[in-house]
Structure 1
Amino acid sequence: MTTDSSPAFIDFEASSLDLIASYPIEVGVCLADSSLHSWLIQPHVLWSDWSDSAERIHGISRSTLEREGIPVHEVALQLNELLSGQVYCDAWTFDSFWLHRLFRAAKVLPAFQLESVSMLLDSSQVHQWSQTRHQVIEHLALPVHRAANDALILRETWWRLMQAPLANHADGA
């Protein structure tokens, strides 16, 4: 669930970056209270795309997904139990595609709406996003390209930008 003070964030890892054939292989959520949830997703019977270069980045093999993944229907239901309202991501084009692909395969409608984190930011914060994100990654010392870690990095980057002194948000800053 989201609160007025802090939204929920979501991130996906995928079989590849092909927006025609790819599918979600892991989803991670960071809730308003900073609690993390993640699921490896068992490939749906119709999902066959696979990129060895993507596997080298996220470190998740297709055989691991087949062995340890949760069926798409169960993942969709669990996401709907946890999330409502607006949920934020940093790669809306890709994340919305993978969210749609997951829920369509599950034959379930999402109980929440995906939005870009940029909707929460002013122009100065958008400008500071990349540098702040790198600082968060360095500070947390977590591996990137794992969905729960990336969702936490999103939340912590947003949080740092919200805590920045007002002087940082002046025009031209």
Structure 2
Amino acid sequence: MSASSRSVLPSLVVYPATPRDLEPLAEVLTQVFHPPLGLQRWIYPIRKLGIREDLRLRLGSRDPYYCCLAASVGSRVVGTAEISLRAMAHGKYPYLSNLAVLPGWRRQGVARQLLLGAEGVVQVWGYRNLHLHVLEDNFPARQLYAQLRYIPIERTSRLWRWLGVPPQLLLCKWLS
């Protein structure tokens, strides 16, 4: 791993998002998960509207076990992650979802700082572990998670592949 991929931007700030952050967060999520490439650019505004409304509902839910983190450099939001409780086989556990960093800001420590911020949130909630899913073939993400001591505990069934869902790994990190 190169030194630049480990660097943390000196002006990077990770903070709990508020409704004021709704528009830039929706932009990050839409660009990362539904990039406006080819014909997709025509439905990009509709996808972004749907993402913004879903996020607006989550941000306004007042659920004590939900947190959306924003990562900004200066006044620009460049990444986000959400933490909530998710029902799993043996109860409810803290779960990280929608970790997204704008392409031009990747490999500069943004995702790492969002993960560390999420771990802090989970500890404040009184939990000692954090779960997340990663696509099995997303090797850059898997490398980051491994560096931060996330370990695979489950693999999605191959049955999902028949439905067009790529295989995923459930990772967990036990926090000190």
TMscore range, shorter length: under 0.3
In the superposition, the TM-score normalised over structure 2's length comes to 0.27
Q: Which has the higher contact order (CA 8 A, sep 6+)?
A: 1
In the superposition, the TM-score normalised over structure 1's length comes to 0.27
Structure number having the greater helix percentage? 1
